[in-house]
Amino acid sequence: MTTTHTPDRESSGRVWLITGASSGFGQALAEVALGAGDTVVAAARRPALLDALAAAHPGRVFPVALDVTDQAQIGAVVAEVLRQHGRIDVLVNNAGRGLVGAVEETTEQELRDLMDLHFFGPAALTRAVLPQMRSQGSGAVVQMSSMGGRFSFAGVGGYSATKFALEGLSEALALEVAPFGIKVLIVEPGSFRTGFAGGGALQQSAALPAYEETVGPVREVLPSSDGKQPGDPAKAAAAILAALEADRTPLRLALGSDAADAILANFETSRQEALDWEPVSRSTDFD
């Protein structure tokens, strides 16, 4: 782990550990936390990208090198943050990337790599911070999921699977840690103007002609949305902070009109299907 500054023990407020803090939502959340007077441990694969932010907030931004798919790094980084700062109040499991491909097109390795990034890394980070949060009787874990963590569509099955996994884990986690004063917030953004769709960040599985009609449009639309997405990451970060500070923090927070529309529509479809088949559901109990 590398830190570029000596910590300022006088700084008050919460200590945040944010993964993928060099770009997009992670960077916006770092800025919102700094605006609230908090201290940010900004984790990134290339921590030098955070030097300018650290220089602008002396003693309040601490860049650390962390690839969240490297389980060995996770325990060491959390231990070092606790040694230097004494506490972690907010863990934001934000690092991530997109993957486009039909289920048949997506390889085992692609699935496993994305599970490492969106599920096993965040699970390990969560386990690592919980003992200290439990002992201090407060804390928050923010899980950056997606509207694709609530429902899926052609071409994003692998991506959704990883976010569904994170959401399932987090739903149970919220119940387990509430008695210790720890909040869990699952964030479900729609399409936001971050680095997600551009600069080669979006991974595409090798295409099969059979899926040209169903997945082909997604392969085109996602990259071409870069820079034109409706969602503003700064507003998203402010909304996340407000939700964390609310008396009744929601378990899930959809962000963006597109996410609100699609998630609500999905509820209706799912509810109707459950009602249509309810007699069959109820018919399978023992007499």
Active-site residue set: 145, 159, 163
In the complex, least distance from residue 197 CB atom to ligand NDP, rounded to whole angstroms: 7
Q: Which is nearer to ligand NDP, 220 or 273 (CB)?
A: 220
Q: Which residue among 38, 67, 105, 167 contacts ligand NDP (CB under 6 A)? A: 67
Phi, psi dihedrals of residue 247, rounded to the nearest 5°:
-60, -40
69 belongs to the binding site for ligand NDP (CB under 6 A): yes
Q: Which one of the spans 21-29, 81-89, 178-186, 206-214 is the region binding ligand NDP (CB under 6 A)?
A: 21-29
For ligand NDP, the binding residues in 207-226 under the rule CB under 6 A are: none
Q: Which one of the spans 44-52, 168-176, 212-220, 279-287 is the region binding ligand NDP (CB under 6 A)?
A: 44-52
For ligand NDP, the binding residues in 245-274 under the rule CB under 6 A are: none
In the complex, least distance from residue 256 CB atom to ligand NDP, rounded to whole angstroms: 8
- How many chain residues interact with ligand NDP (CB under 6 A)? 29
Q: Which one of the spans 39-47, 56-64, 124-132, 209-217 is the region binding ligand NDP (CB under 6 A)?
A: 39-47
Q: Which residue among 7, 20, 63, 158 contacts ligand NDP (CB under 6 A)? A: 20
Q: Which residues bind ligand NDP (CB under 6 A)?
A: 19-20, 22-26, 44-46, 66-69, 94-97, 117, 144, 146, 189, 191-192, 194-196, 201, 229
